[in-house]
Amino acid sequence: MKPLLPVWVAALLLAGAAQAQSYLPPEAAVRQAVEQSPTVQAADAARRGTQARADGLRAGPHETVVRAIGQRRWVRDGSGQRFGEGQIAIERPLRLWGKSEADAELADATLATGRVAAQDARHETARQLLTLWFAALRASQARQAAQDNASAAAELARITERRLRAGDAARLEAELAAAEQARMQAALAAAEATETAALAELQARFPGLCPQRCAPAEAPVALPEPPTQPAAPSVTQMRAHYIEHSHEYLLAQAEEALALRQARRTDLERHPDPTVGVFATSERGGAERLAGVSLSLPLGSVHRETQAAAALADADAALSRRLAAERRLGAEFDVLWSLLGGKRAAAQAQARAAALQRSAADRALRAYRAGESGLSELLAVRRVLADALLAERLARSEALESDSRLRLDLHELWDFDD
């Protein structure tokens, strides 16, 4: 059974889990899309090959050999006698010196490596899906912001046109409002093209991924409140959990175990396997018959010693790769955790800034309608509001992506290890 996260870690990471369906695709669709990925299918094929190789290791490399010899005998004593003779032998090498047990352990290590490699392929594919999904989400957020800006610009153009007909505005203001409306329409067209391209890439990489949900909801997604920053020991425990349950680390660990088993097995090859057999011989036309047992034993050579030394060096290299993966994953967690905290704080700050700027824009619009300010001032405030709203939505989606990425790497989101 997969170890569970401590309660405090689950509470820390899953603060917004109840709202996950509002911005993530359904898990069933994700699983289907991942399983249909060519990368995952290739990993499954490689795992089947690993299974076959493991079965071969358990069976052993030795085969039974049948040998048949036919010969003619001439007697040179003046009698001119000739005899047909022959021999049949059956031989088979024996796995001794604990090699059968070592091969079984090597087969188990091979299977474990293939299984973790297949899990790692699914996890990496899920990472790619998550990245493309949030790219589409950000593109949708940008398109929604551009659509809101275009609607606001159109409303402002209508207000200015009414004021122009009433004689409360100059022709210049109407032209400025119309130009602002055209600019917002151009921005909306560009945002729609970007969203279409992001969705097209998502669908091309993962065909059939919930087509009815690929365009995120029209309403902005509410970002869950960030949890309280945990104490240092808590983060340390989470960091250890992140490393120890990472597929990259598990794969390096499995490869290290495989290299150690291979080194032990190669070391046993310094003791050659004997070959035993039985034979039956017919001589002098069947007048003489022989039966016996044969035994052959290769003499050890320097080649066997060098192979064992090379396998031991490979095991040392695998150990170093595991240690390097541990350090790299620790640094990766530190970066992800720092980015998550920073992006959550940025999203909250952008939300406050957007709320204040929206209030300021409303007051500026009321002042413009009342004739207390000019259109230039209102346009300046509206442009700042447009930038603030876009920044708020992008910051929210980036914080959601960081949170989802960390939960995915901690196997609390879309876990494929089962």
Q: Which domains does the chain have, with CATH numbers?
A: 98-275+304-409 (1.20.1600.10)
pLDDT in tens, 146-157: 888 888 888 878
Confidence of residue 125 (pLDDT cuts 50, 70, 90): very high
Q: Which of 310, 313, 319 is nearest to 253 (CA)?
A: 319
| CA 62 – CA 71 distance, rounded (Å) | 29
Q: Supply 114's token pair.
A: 């293939």
18 to 21, 97, 147, 223, 342: CA distances (angstroms) = 7, 59, 28, 11, 22
pLDDT in tens, 70-80: 888 887 776 77
For residues 53 and 144, is the Cβ–Cβ distance under 8 A? no
3-state secondary structure of 64: coil
Give the CA angle between residues 104, 110, 112 to the nearest 5°. 105
For residues 264 and 314, is the Cβ–Cβ distance under 8 A? no
Who wins on pLDDT, 36 or 2?
Answer: 36
| CA 240 – CA 329 distance, rounded (Å) | 10
| CA 56 – CA 58 distance, rounded (Å) | 5
Q: Which helix (H) or strand (E) holds 265?
A: helix 247-268
> Cα 271 from chain centroid?
43
Query: Mean pLDDT throughout 105-122?
Result: 90
Question: Which residues of 297-409 form beta strands (DSSP E)?
Answer: none
Give the pTM: 0.78
Q: Supply 78's token pair.
A: 């003046």
Phi, psi dihedrals of residue 74, rounded to the nearest 5°: -115, 130
Tell the residue number behind the tokens 């044969």, with chain if given. Answer: 294
pLDDT in tens, 228-258: 455 545 788 888 888 988 889 999 999 999 9
Instruction: Give the long-range contacts of residues 77-82, CB within 8 A, separation 24 or more.
Output: none
